[in-house]
Amino acid sequence: MKLISKIVLGSIVLTQLFYSCKSDSSSDIAMDSNFITLNSEADFPIKVTQFADLKVLRYQIPGWENLTLKEQKLVYYLTQAGLSGRDIMWDQNYRHNLTIRTALEQVYTTFEGDKTSDDWVAFEVYLKRVWFSNGIHHHYSNAKLTPEFSAAYLTSILATTNTTLEGEAFEVIFNDKDAKKVNQAKNIDNVAESAVNFYGQGVTNADVESFYSKIASPNPDKPLSHGLNSQLVKINGELQERVYKSGGLYGEAIDEIVKWLELAKGVAENQAQGDALGLLIQYYNTGDLQTWDDYNVAWTSATEGNIDYINSFIEVYNDPLGYRGSYETIVQIKDFDMSAKMAVLSENAQWFEDNSPLFAEHKKKNVVGVSYKTVNVAGEAGDASPTTPIGVNLPNANWIRAAVGSKSVSLGNITNAHDNSGSSGRLKEFVHDDQEYELEKLYGQPADKLHTALHEVVGHASGQLNPGVGETKETLKNYASTLEEGRADLVGLYYLYNPKIQELGLVEDWKSIGTTAFDGYIRNGLMTQLIRLNLGDEVEEAHMRNRQWVSAWVYEKGLKDNVIEKVIRDGKTYFNINDYEKLHNLFGQLLRETQRIKSEGDFAAVQALVEGYGVKVDQAIHADVLERNKQFTSAPYSGFVNPVLVPQTNSEGAITSIEVKYVASFVGQMLNYSANYSFLPEIN
C-alpha cells in the first residue's frame, strides 16, 4: 500500500528556495545525451517544467558514490528491469493508450509546420499530459483529458506527418466514450463504466464477483490474490483470465524484465535477497499466484543489505473492484542515518498496537516483522512514475502481514525534492491565523514525515480481521482502498498527538508536532485538496476521499462542542481547531470504527461512511478555494523525471563504473523511454 503525497496540497509546502531550469519546448527533443551540468550540489535545479495543472521535478540520489560497484550494478539492473515493463502500465490504464501515444509521438518528432500556432501549443500540452498520466486519463481524477485543439487539426497534422491514427483510437480523444478510467460511483456497474483495461468488453461487476466466488484457495487461512496478475475477458461468452506472464499477456515486456532480474540476482547482496529475486523471476515466468505469495514471504524476510526494490503487479487502486494490480517498480537505496532514527517505530510496534483505541478483539496480540527504513529512490517506473508515492508498506496480503510482517519505507529524496519545490504563499492564504502559519513553518515538514512513518509502519500493520471474514476486496468491495488508507491515516493522527513520540526521541515537542499535524490535515481534507477538482466535481480518488471523510466526520461529530470551528472572514472560509484534546479523542473513535468495519467486513457501514462524508463537496467552499487559489502559479500536481544511470565499460564490455546523470528535459526522457523501452505491440 502506498501513501500518496499531500505536499502539493498546501498543507506543508514551505520551502526556502525554488529552483528552475530550461523548460521543455517544441524543439527540445534531445534524448539521453541531454543532461544538466551541476556546478555544485547546492545548485541542483529541482524544477524541470510546468504545464496545465502539472509540474515536473528532479530528485537526486544522495550517497551513490558510497556504494560498491557491485551494489551500483544491482541498482542499475533493477532500474532497467523496471523500465522494461513501463508499457504494461500504459496498456493497463486503457486499451488504446499505446496506439495513441505512438501516433502522437510520431507527429511530435516529425512535424515541420507552424510550431507557434495556438493549436500546436495545445497539442504539445496534451501530449505532455498524456505522458505524465501514462495515458489519456488524468492520473489523479481519472477523468479523460480534454484536448484544446480540434479533431480537424489533429487530422491535418497526422496527414502532414504520414501518421495513422483512426477508428475508435482517434475518436475517443474527442468524444464522451470511456470518460472515466476508474469510476467508483455508487449504484452503477463500476467495471462496465470504467475504461481501465483490466476487464474485457462486456464484463460486469456481477461477472467478476461470480467468477471469483467459484475459485477457492488451497489454504483458506492463506488466501491467494486471485485476479492480481490477469485480465478478465469474455471469449465466446465465457469468462477467462489472460495471465500476465512469459508467453502470456505482456509476455514480450516480461521477458525483458526477467532478463534484467537475472542479472540483478547475479549481484545480489546476500543469499536471502538472491532467493527472493529467484522467486520473482519464477513468478514472472509462470504467473503462479502461490509463487507470488512465496516470493512476498521471502522478500519481506530479506531485510539485510543496502538495496531493496518493489517490482511487479502490486497496488489495486486502479481496479474499481480491487482485484488487479498495476505494474510498478521502485528501486531503493537505504538512507542509513534516517533509517536508524526511525527504526524505533518498528521496535515499538507492539506498544502502539496495545495502546490503540481499537476493540480488544481487533488488536494483534503479536505484531511481527514490521521493518521501517528511510530510503533514497534510484529509479521508478509504471504506476510509480512520473507520479510517485512518498511512502510504501508491503506486502498487501493480510495473512502475510500477520504471520511474517511487512516492509515500510519512506522515500526520503522524493520528499526532500517536494519540500524544496514550492513556496509558502498558498499556505498563508488558507491558514486561519498567524500562529497556525508559524507552527506550520516550524513543524510542518517533520510532522508530515512522522505521519508518513506512522501511517506506513504502525497504521497498515495494525489490526486484524475477525475469524472467517474474507479479504477486504471481497467484503468492502470498491470502498476497500479508501477505508484502508483512512484507517492508516487515523493511526498516524492518533499517535502524533501523544507524548510517547517524544519519549521515544522522535520529536522534541510532541504537542507542537501534533497540533501542527491536526491543523494541516483538517485544512487539507476540508479545503485545500479541492484545488485539484473542477467546480461541481465529486471526490473520486481513494486518498482524497479518505482525507475528506476523516476530516468531515470529526468536524460533524465535534460540532456540539465546537471542536473545529468554521470561520468566515472577509468572505473567505477557514477552519480553526478549538480543542485539540477532543479532536484527538474523535480521531480515536473513528479509528476504532474503521477497524471494526474492516475486521467485520461491514459493507453497509463503509458505504455510509464514504458516501456520507467522502464524496460530496461543499460547493460554496469549493468555489471559494478555487477563487483564492487563482493567484498561485505553482501547479497542484507534481511528478518526476528519473536520474539516468550510465554504465562505463572496458574493452571486453564489462562494467567498470556507473555514473548518475540528470536529464534536462521531460520531453527528452519520455521520448527516450519510448525509443528504448517499448517492448509491447500497440494492441495487446
pLDDT digits (tens, 9 = 90+) for 330-387: 999 998 777 777 789 889 999 999 999 999 999 999 988 778 888 999 999 999 999 9
Flag residues of the chain having pLDDT under 50: 5-32
Q: Is 557 helix (H, G, I), strand (E, B) or coil?
A: helix
E strands present in 224-295: 230-235, 238-243
- Bridge-based pairing of strands 644-649 and 655-661 is antiparallel
**How many structural domains is the chain composed of?**
1
Cβ neighbours around 592 below 10 Å, total: 17
Question: In this structure, is residue 587 part of a structural domain?
Answer: yes
Question: In this structure, is residue 648 part of a structural domain?
Answer: no
pLDDT of residue 286: 98
DSSP β-bridge partners for residue 333: 307, 376
pLDDT of residue 422: 65
Query: What cell was used for 36?
Result: 544538466
Question: In this structure, is residue 676 part of a structural domain?
Answer: no
Q: Is 633 helix (H, G, I), strand (E, B) or coil?
A: coil
Query: Is residue 250 within 8 Å of residue 91, measured between CB atoms?
Result: yes
Cis peptide before 647 (omega within 30 of 0): no
Query: Is residue 424 within 8 Å of residue 14, measured between CB atoms?
Result: yes
Query: What cell was used for 550?
Result: 476523516
Query: Is residue 371 within 8 Å of residue 346, measured between CB atoms?
Result: yes
Q: What angle do CA 383, 387, 393 make, to 5 degrees?
A: 60
DSSP codes joined into one string, 334-397 = E-HHHHHHHHHHHHTHHHHHHTSSS-GGGS-SS---EEEEEEEEEEEEETTSSS-EEEEEE---
Query: Is residue 95 within 8 Å of residue 197, measured between CB atoms?
Result: yes
**Residue 289 Cα to chain centre, angstroms:** 23
Query: Is residue 347 within 8 Å of residue 459, measured between CB atoms?
Result: no
**Calpha distance 318→181 (Å, rounded):** 8
Amino acid letter, residue 499: P
Write down the pTM of the prediction: 0.83
E strands present in 183-325: 230-235, 238-243, 307-313
pLDDT of residue 424: 64
Question: In this structure, is residue 659 part of a structural domain?
Answer: no
Question: In this structure, is residue 223 part of a structural domain?
Answer: no
Query: Is residue 9 within 8 Å of residue 529, measured between CB atoms?
Result: yes
Half-sphere exposure of 526 (CA within 13 A, CB side): 26
**Calpha distance 296→403 (Å, rounded):** 12
E strands present in 230-277: 230-235, 238-243
Please give the residue range of the domain that contains residue 505.
422-617
Question: In this structure, is residue 575 part of a structural domain?
Answer: yes
pLDDT of residue 15: 26
Question: In this structure, is residue 641 part of a structural domain?
Answer: no
**Calpha distance 388→576 (Å, rounded):** 31
Question: Given CA atoms 505, 508, 512, 517 in this order, what sign does their dihedral have?
Answer: negative
Query: What cell was used for 279?
Result: 522467486
**Calpha distance 173→171 (Å, rounded):** 5
